Amino acid sequence: MTKKFFIENLKTLFYALIIAIFIRSVFIQPFYIPSSSMEPNLLVGDRLFVTKFSYGYSKHSFPFSPPIFDGRIIPKIPKRGDVIVFKTPADNRTDYIKRLIGLPGDTIQFIDGDLYINENLILKTIKLKNDVLYCGNMKIKVRTFEEKLPNGRKYLASYRKDYSFQNSDKFLVPDNHFFFLGDNRDCSKDSRFLSEVGYVNKDNLVGKAQILFFSSNPEIGSIFKFWRWQEIIRLKRFFKKIK
């Protein structure tokens, strides 16, 4: 009786694990935001759902990126402005989340602090002249703008007031690669840093960030401190669509 009970429960746990891995690999996966590189849109402590089917599937769609096949299955082209989780080219293991700015064949450049795509200035409208964001453990003063991409996609991006990224060489996005930027422009390790992130191969895309389902403020305390939930949990960010 005891042995049979143990075996049946072990089977149940095994099947549950298989189902969970299947759902995580094929449909949807939760992710945690550990850094401030996507502020003001995504905050440290945000939890979000990423859809794995949005761009098709590669080996990175599965846990531990098993080398079961090359390329992508059922590939779909991402749209400029999508917020995407990808594996960094440096190690093909670490998950990053950034905004897609450059498509294959695009040229990207910063001139006097302004973003240019294919030599066209990206329109930005001031929203907050005196904003404060995190950069690691520091707080920085920024100006927050609404940027509008060529496809009409709008989002918030912030630039430091005291020192901001001003000028760059032209970045020419190779075939089958993408160029990403963090919305917290002066506190983001992204495609501008070629030796650390650089251009991201299409096979490294993990999925599209869709819904922010839970958020807590780690600066105040752990979610296990239930007696401080009123301060720690950011209720207004629950079930918020990611733009």
Q: Spell out the domains of the chain, with CATH numbers in brackets.
A: 2-241 (2.10.109.10)
Q: Does the N-terminal peptide bond of residue 40 adopt cis geometry, omega within 30 degrees of 0?
A: yes
Confidence category of residue 9, pLDDT binned at 50, 70, 90: low
Of 61-65, 127-131, 142-146, least confident by mean pLDDT is: 61-65
What per-residue confidence (pLDDT) applies to 212? 96
CB 88 within 8 A of CB 193: no
> Taking 80 as the threshold, does the pLDDT of residue 7 lie above it?
no
Question: pLDDT tens across 181-224, in order?
Answer: 999 999 999 999 998 899 999 999 999 999 999 999 998 988 88
- For residue 122, the number of C-alpha atoms closer than 13 Å in the C-beta half-sphere is 29
Average pLDDT, the chain: 91
What per-residue confidence (pLDDT) applies to 223? 85
Contacts of 194-199 with CB under 8 Å at 24 or more apart are 196/88, 196/90, 197/88, 197/89, 197/90, 197/96, 198/89, 199/89, 199/171, 199/173, 199/174
Closest CA relative to residue 203, chosen from 99, 59, 77, 51: 59
Percent of the chain with pLDDT over 90: 73
Span between the terminal Cα atoms of the chain, in Å: 55
Question: pLDDT tens across 151-192, in order?
Answer: 999 999 999 998 888 899 999 999 999 999 999 999 999 999
37 is catalytic: yes
Distance of CA 16 to the CA centre of its chain: 28
Q: How far apart are CA 83 and CA 135, in angstroms?
A: 19
Confidence category of residue 1, pLDDT binned at 50, 70, 90: low
The better pLDDT of the pair 144, 23 is held by 144
> Taking 70 as the threshold, does the pLDDT of residue 146 lie above it?
yes
Catalytic residue among 52, 59, 87, 98: 98
141 is catalytic: no
> Taking 60 as the threshold, does the pLDDT of residue 112 lie above it?
yes
Q: Where are the beta strands (DSSP E) in the chain?
A: 28-32, 46-51, 83-87, 95-102, 107-111, 114-117, 120-121, 123-135, 138-148, 154-160, 171-172, 177-181, 200-201, 205-215, 240-241
> Taking 90 as the threshold, does the pLDDT of residue 120 lie above it?
yes
Q: How far apart are CA 121 and CA 114, in angstroms?
A: 7
- pTM value? 0.90
Highest-confidence segment of 13-27, 33-47, 67-81: 33-47
Q: How far apart are CA 47 and CA 105, in angstroms?
A: 33
Catalytic residue among 37, 158, 191, 215: 37
The percent helix, strand, coil of the chain (3-state, each to 5) is 15, 40, 45
What per-residue confidence (pLDDT) applies to 14? 73
> Taking 70 as the threshold, does the pLDDT of residue 71 lie above it?
yes
The better pLDDT of the pair 73, 9 is held by 73
